[in-house]
Structure 1
Amino acid sequence: MLTAHIIGRQDGEEEDRLDPLSDLIPAVIRKLPSFELTDPAQVPMVTGVLIAAAMGMDTVTWRDQFGTIPPKEALVHNFVLWLLADLFDNLVDQPGATDLLMRETFNSMAAEPG
């Protein structure tokens, strides 16, 4: 969801926009080694999830086809979320924008009947 939101919320000229496959995903993947606990063996799966998100696919369904998520992979997904949140906050020039977006999303889900 956050990846799709970042892609869809960019203003400006077409040439100024982040292309998810050539800009966004490589930028996130390049930053992962800065997290000491990142297991490099998990990066291909995390990249696949990001590509699925950029293609508008259901990332949970896409990832679930490969079985249970091991703890080392889950940790890397958390780092990716942090990087995407930081990127989104910077794109909209509003610290905490991601937190607000997620709160609004969860509140709206809680308000739905069923």
Structure 2
Amino acid sequence: MSSPCSPQYAPAGDVGAALMMIDSRLKAIHDGKTEIDPEHEALIHQFTESLGPKGARDVLDGACTLIYMFMVWLRQAHEEHDKDVIEYVVPSLVATMRMMPKSVRPEAVPTMAGLVIAAGTGLSPNLWRKQYGDWTEEEMTPLEVTAFLLAEHINRITDDPDFATRMITEALSRADEA
């Protein structure tokens, strides 16, 4: 029986825009920038403001699609070694988010953990979240942090700082060809 939270029922959103935002954060960290660049932050804010409500919703859905795709890859990678993705990914993700109280308020951590667990068990993160109400403004940064941390986790596993971005870009290219 299919769940109403199955990915087949979820909008993919603007995965490209969401990936661009995550990739810019990854590159900033790898360039040694630990402080948030106010100019970069202003550009991101200007970009998201220019999208309007529908465009912003599409980027939000795109971020959820990224989280789902990252968790699918992580699940497959862990299963190859007879390991459970939830057991090996979620605790470190939660621990890292708890060390980021300025970006991820403590009350957002359980939601983001649930989102990742939903994706790790084959459910759509955005449809899973939707059953608890609309997204809040306070959840936007934690959502971005979650996608970022999963991408960074994949990059560390593969020892390739661009692997997660390249994986999604290639998947998008294949989807465009189909």
Give the alignment's TM-score, normalised by structure 2: 0.55
Counterparts of 1:105 and 1:87, CA distance in 2: 19
Question: Between Structure 1 and Structure 2, how many residues are aligned?
Answer: 109
> Structure 1: 5+ residue runs without aligned partners?
none
**Structure 2 residue aligned with 1:54, among 120, 125, 134?**
120
**One-letter identity of the residue aligned with 2:146:** V
**Structure 1 residue aligned with 2:158, among 64, 84, 92?**
92
Q: Which residue of 1 aligns with 2:97?
A: 32
Deviation at 1:13, TM superposition (A): 4.3
Task: Provide the aligned C-alpha RMSD in A.
Answer: 1.9
Counterparts of 1:20 and 1:83, CA distance in 2: 15
Matched, 1:104 2:170: yes
Deviation at 1:20, TM superposition (A): 2.3
> Structure 2: 5+ residue runs without aligned partners?
1-68
Q: Which residue of 1 aligns with 2:77?
A: 9
Q: Which has the larger radius of gyration?
A: 2
Counterparts of 1:2 and 1:99, CA distance in 2: 10
Change in CA separation of 1:47 and 1:11 when aligned onto 2, cut-off 3 Å: closer
**One-letter identity of the residue aligned with 1:76:** P
